[in-house]
Amino acid sequence: MSIVRFAIKSTLVGGIVYYSIQQGLWSKSEDSVQLYGRLYNNVTPYIKDNIPKKVINELPPLPSTSDLSNSVKSSWNKGVIASMKFLSETPTYVTNGVQSISKILKGYIEQQSVSEKNQ
């Protein structure tokens, strides 16, 4: 029975991943924005027709495709900048780490030698 459940779950997940790839979710950012635009245009009428007005008024509106595109580009650029900053500062981090470890080891070795002399 557990094999059947696993097969069904795997098939569903595989189908979702396959469909999302076919629709362009995992390709270029332009394709993802187009997919979001299609989803936005298809889902918005159903939301307006089937969700009570009180709930709609309390929820923020869905972002437009241009807002989403700008947000994705800005986030991507910030991620690239942060990654490059980290990579450029890696030698400093490594140097500081090695110096810290060497100080700790020197202190430990000195403690061991002092305790051996006292015995």
Count of CB atoms within 10 A of residue 104's CB?
A: 10
Distance CA 37, CA 68 (A): 10
State pLDDT tens for residues 29-85: 777 778 888 888 888 787 777 778 787 778 777 777 677 777 777 777 788 888 888
Residue 100 scores a pLDDT above 90: yes
- In this prediction, residue 25 has a pLDDT band, given cuts at 50, 70 and 90, of confident
pTM of the model: 0.41
In the chain, where the domains are located: 1-59, 69-118
- Give how far Cα 48 sits from Cα of 21, 37, 56, 58, 82, Å: 28, 17, 8, 13, 40
Of the given ranges (8-17, 31-40, 87-96), which has the lowest mean pLDDT? 31-40
